Amino acid sequence: DKLISKLSGYNEKLYTDVLTGIYNRRFFEEKIKNMEDEAGIAVIDLDDFKLFNELYGEECGDRILKWCGHIIENTVGCQGNTFRFGSNEYVVLINSDEKKKVAQIAAKIQKNFLLADEEKPDVLQPVTASVGIAFYPDTASGADELLSQAERANFYAKRDGKNCIKIYGAHT
């Protein structure tokens, strides 16, 4: 019984981001490795995050990352899973290939970044994010291609002024 408990704890540590407490990239890769169901993926990249670290210090930057992870996870709820990928990048896997639904969730995340005050770190600048979205099997034939397409769409969202949403294949 102790062994099972101990192994369960290791598994949790293996798949959880230490800073935010949400799932990490390793768990995402496990989850989509044998993807069969239709899905939408949103790559969410915080805009100008380096600025927060430079102006307010890394401790404040960490609080922003935790706060953003909490906002994303609460917004997505049971509609999908949230993963922290890199320093200021999150990925949301939505169990749907309905473009409108996935785009609405992404827009709600952006809106919640601007409206949510509870536990928000004390910074003057608004916290915004650029979002790139892709769909399986609509445009991608597998997990690697799906992530690559969402990242490319995110690049266009950043390039086109930040704090916007781009869907892969919709003029990307």
Within 10 A of 68 (CB to CB), how many other CB atoms are there? 26
pLDDT digits (tens, 9 = 90+) for 31-81: 888 788 899 999 999 999 999 999 999 999 999 999 999 999 999 999 999
DSSP 131-146: EEEEEETTT-SSHHHH
pTM of the model: 0.91
In this predicted structure, what is the pLDDT of residue 35?
Answer: 82
Q: Which residues pair with 135 in a beta bridge?
A: 40
